[in-house]
């Protein structure tokens, strides 16, 4: 739309700026709090300019956690979160691309039945099946292990469905041409399907990385040992009770640390991510 | 290079749904055969059965002296060019052509020689490092052909390869296909619904209708002596006029009709549509009321065509007779 109405421009910009402030201000306050000493944070009102304790707070959080609350070091939590945020998307991608390949390119008995089975699980969020899943994991003695943290979250109807839809848009002739060229099904998968799925894989990775990183309920149940805390759980465990006993400066530093990796992944992979969502290389 | 035999080839998807009703044909080594028919007649299915992409319900297909019914496409020594080209979008032109050879584990040097040779024939040398999407339709078509050529197969299979091109390019590619076949002399099967492609490319053609081969023969022979009313009305533009007469069907091509005086008239039409094409004029009209047979006549460009009654005559040697019930030709 090409329009030259100054008031409309002014008005729309004002709304956008308000929106940015609403999102950015809490983040800014979090950052400021993470640079103050505990005493400064507790002042009423809290100062709105960064203080001088940035290095001190972050190194305390990274190495020793909080002093009054959980003493698990945030650096180890970050590592746990990273394991979760990498294993979940990679596992999901590996399993779902192969199952979608089977469903789209092979005719086997019960093909549609299995597809609908997978599809129906889309309707069941993790929270609904969390008690039975926890029971299974406990019986298998997988509490407080990386396997227990990640495996139940790997099986994914969403990703299978996404790949199925993508494969259906690839013309059948491509598979036939590969067959005439002498490529076996797996060769076709490696040489043609996988390279064509690159952008879809990238988009899925970004989404699932954030999904894995932000998991809260599941690690809360499975990771009861301090050494298995993820960052998100760590923040929760640092908050011990009444307002006065919480070291908000350290908690805020941890919060900032927890926010950085997903933000970095989105920024670094943005080009691929957008490509995967809007276009396919065909 | 090899001969191809189709022996009573049949295809059905379910017992009730039969799509190919027994096609018989001996294709000679090096012959260029066109399979022509309207959409849904089973011509692509027949080609895909030769390729091995569809199973054969009954009958036999042999390439050379091998029956290939149960062989995978890769073991049939064929190469196929698809309607939408089916190029691998993420590979360069070079890799597209080399892919099949790499799977066959040819040496890199061999692959290089073959691809370069094919690229030279098809004038693709400049484009070898490009991706398919950076090429025009005609160039993609050539890459698809290059992918077939490098394999040096016994038989080329073409599935409507020109139908995605614009009219001008189609004429050009038709010429290139002809010269390519002259040069390589590989047995070729070419599926199309375009009668001009069939007439110009084919050494012999199969006209198919509803899963049956209506006629097999050289293009001019098929044109001159159509075996059935279907062939008569499918080939030629406008198609042959079919007029009921004495319990039979009289067939006469529009170009064999000429205007004459009322006293010499062998038939009279009521002209209601005139199409001047420059080189000639085509007039259409019914021979009687609205439900009677409609006739087209191709008249000389200088003929004075106007709506109303038009007297026409034809030479007796240009007349064909068909049986109205079976549609088969009656040779007198």
The pLDDT of residue B37: 92
Q: Which residues of chain B are within 8 Å of residue A182 when distances are taken between CB atoms?
A: 73-74, 100, 103-104
Instruction: Decide if A45 touches B, using CB distance below 8 A.
Output: no
Instruction: Decide if A176 touches B, using CB distance below 8 A.
Output: yes
| One-character DSSP codes across A97-142 | HHHHHHHHH---TTHHHHHHHHHHGGGS-TTTTHHHHHHHHHHTT-
Q: Report the mean per-residue pLDDT for chain A.
A: 86
The pLDDT of residue A279: 59
Instruction: Decide if A225 touches B, using CB distance below 8 A.
Output: no
CATH number of the domain where residue A276 is located: 1.10.3720.10
**Is position A67 within any domain?**
yes
Smallest CA-to-CA distance from B75 within B153, B188, B9, B11 is with B153
The pLDDT of residue A282: 44
Chain A: give the shortest CA distance to residue B239, in Å: 34
**Is position A238 within any domain?**
yes
Per-residue pLDDT tens over the stretch B2-58: 899 999 999 998 888 889 999 999 999 999 999 999 988 999 999 999 999 999 999
Q: Are B84 and A179 in contact (CB < 8 Å)?
A: no
**Above pLDDT 70, what percent of chain A?**
94
In chain B, positions 27-86, which contact chain A (CB-CB < 8 Å)? 51-53, 72-74, 78-80, 82-84, 86
The pLDDT of residue B127: 92
**Would you place residue A215 in the very low, low, confident or very high pLDDT band (cuts 50, 70, 90)?**
confident
In chain A, positions 133-172, which contact chain B (CB-CB < 8 Å)? 171
Q: Are B80 and A171 in contact (CB < 8 Å)?
A: no
Is the full-model pTM beyond 0.90?
no
**Is position A261 within any domain?**
yes
**Is position A26 within any domain?**
no
Q: Which residues of chain B are within 8 Å of residue A192 when distances are taken between CB atoms?
A: 88, 90
Range of the domain at A61: 34-281
Q: Which residues of chain A are within 8 Å of residue B83 when distances are taken between CB atoms?
A: 173
Q: How many domains, chain A?
A: 1
The pLDDT of residue B24: 92
Per-residue pLDDT tens over the stretch A35-65: 888 878 777 788 888 888 888 888 888 887 7
**Is position A226 within any domain?**
yes
Instruction: Please give chain B's pLDDT, 332 residues, in tens.
Output: 789 999 999 999 888 888 999 999 999 999 999 999 998 899 999 999 999 999 999 999 999 889 999 999 989 999 999 998 899 999 999 999 999 999 999 999 999 999 999 998 888 889 999 999 999 888 998 999 999 999 889 999 999 998 888 888 888 889 889 998 998 899 999 999 999 999 999 999 999 999 999 999 999 999 999 999 999 989 988 899 999 888 889 999 999 998 888 888 888 899 989 998 888 999 999 988 777 888 999 988 888 778 888 889 999 889 999 998 888 998 86
Chains A, B: CB pairs < 8 Å? 58
Bigger pLDDT: A31 or A247? A31
**Is position A214 within any domain?**
yes
**Would you place residue A242 in the very low, low, confident or very high pLDDT band (cuts 50, 70, 90)?**
low
CA distance A254 to B147: 58
Query: Tokens standing for B101?
Result: 């050879």
**Is position A28 within any domain?**
no
Per-residue pLDDT tens over the stretch A69-114: 667 788 888 999 999 999 999 999 999 999 999 999 998 898 889 8
* Predicted ipTM of the assembly: 0.84
Least confident of A191-200, A267-276, B176-185: A267-276
Q: Are A179 and B99 in contact (CB < 8 Å)?
A: no
Nearest CA in chain A to B77: A180
Give yes or no for residue A120 having a pLDDT over 70.
yes
Per-residue pLDDT tens over the stretch A131-185: 888 999 999 998 889 998 898 888 778 888 889 999 999 999 999 999 999 999 9
**Is position A266 within any domain?**
yes
The pLDDT of residue A243: 62
The pLDDT of residue B256: 92
The pLDDT of residue A69: 67
Strand bridging mode B212-217 / B204-209 = antiparallel
Q: Which residues of chain B are within 8 Å of residue A183 when distances are taken between CB atoms?
A: 99, 103
């Amino acid at each position: 739309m090409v329009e030259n109405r100054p008031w409309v421009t002014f008005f729309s910009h004002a709304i956008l700026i308000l929106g940015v402030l609403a999102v950015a201000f809490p983040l800014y306050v979090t950052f400021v709090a993470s640079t103050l000493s505990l005493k400064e944070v507790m002042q009423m009102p809290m100062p709105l300019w960064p203080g001088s304790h940035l290095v001190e707070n972050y190194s305390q959080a990274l190495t020793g956690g909080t002093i009054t609350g959980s003493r698990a070091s945030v650096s180890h939590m970050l590592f746990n979160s990273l394991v979760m945020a990498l294993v979940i998307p990679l596992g999901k991608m590996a399993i779902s691309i192969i199952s979608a390949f089977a469903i789209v390119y092979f005719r086997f008995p019960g093909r549609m039945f299995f597809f609908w089975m997978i599809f129906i699980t889309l309707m069941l969020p993790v929270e609904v099946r969390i008690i039975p899943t926890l029971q299974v994991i406990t019986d298998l003695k997988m509490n407080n292990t990386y396997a227990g943290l990640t495996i139940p979250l790997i099986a994914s109807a969403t990703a299978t469905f996404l790949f199925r839809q993508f494969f259906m848009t690839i013309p059948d002739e491509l598979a036939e041409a590969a067959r005439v060229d002498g490529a076996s099904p797996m060769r076709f998968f490696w040489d043609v399907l996988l390279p064509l799925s690159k952008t879809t894989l990238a988009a899925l990775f970004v989404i699932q990385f954030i999904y894995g990183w932000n998991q809260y309920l599941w690690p809360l149940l499975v990771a009861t040992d301090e050494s298995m805390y993820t960052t998100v759980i760590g923040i929760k465990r640092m908050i011990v009770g009444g307002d006065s006993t919480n070291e908000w400066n350290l908690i805020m530093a941890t919060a900032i640390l927890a926010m950085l990796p997903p933000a970095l992944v989105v920024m670094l992979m943005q080009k691929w991510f957008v490509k995967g969502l809007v276009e396919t290389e065909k | 290079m090899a001969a191809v035999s189709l022996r009573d080839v049949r295809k059905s998807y379910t017992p009730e749904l039969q799509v190919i009703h027994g096609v018989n044909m001996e294709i000679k080594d090096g012959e260029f055969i066109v399979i022509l028919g309207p959409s849904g007649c089973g011509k692509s299915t027949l080609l895909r059965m030769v390729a091995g992409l569809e199973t054969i319900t009954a009958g036999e297909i042999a390439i050379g002296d091998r029956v290939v019914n149960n062989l995978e496409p890769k073991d049939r020594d064929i190469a196929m060019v698809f309607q939408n080209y089916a190029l691998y979008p993420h590979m360069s032109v070079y890799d597209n052509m080399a892919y099949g050879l790499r799977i066959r584990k040819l040496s890199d040097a061999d692959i290089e020689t073959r691809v370069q040779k094919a690229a030279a024939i098809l004038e693709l040398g400049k484009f070898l490092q490009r991706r398919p999407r950076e090429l025009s339709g005609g160039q993609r078509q050539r890459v698809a052909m290059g992918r077939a050529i490098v394999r040096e197969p016994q038989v080329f299979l073409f599935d409507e390869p020109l139908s995605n091109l614009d009219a001008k390019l189609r004429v050009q590619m038709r010429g290139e296909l002809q010269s390519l076949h002259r040069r390589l002399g590989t047995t070729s099967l070419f599926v199309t619904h375009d009668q001009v492609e069939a007439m110009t490319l084919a050494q012999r053609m199969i006209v198919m209708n509803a899963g049956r081969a209506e006629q097999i023969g050289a293009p001019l022979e098929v044109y001159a002596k159509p075996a059935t009313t279907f062939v008569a009305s499918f080939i030629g533009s406008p198609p042959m006029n079919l007029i009921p007469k004495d319990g039979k069907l009289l067939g006469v091509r529009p170009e064999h009709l000429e205007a004459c005086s009322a006293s010499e008239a062998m038939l009279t039409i009521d002209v209601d549509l005139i199409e001047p094409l420059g080189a000639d004029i085509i007039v259409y009209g019914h021979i009687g009321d609205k439900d009677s047979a409609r006739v087209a006549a191709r008249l000389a460009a200088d003929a004075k065509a106007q709506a109303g009654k038009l007297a026409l005559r034809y030479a007796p040697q240009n007349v064909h007779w068909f049986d109205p019930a079976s549609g088969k030709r009656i040779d007198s």
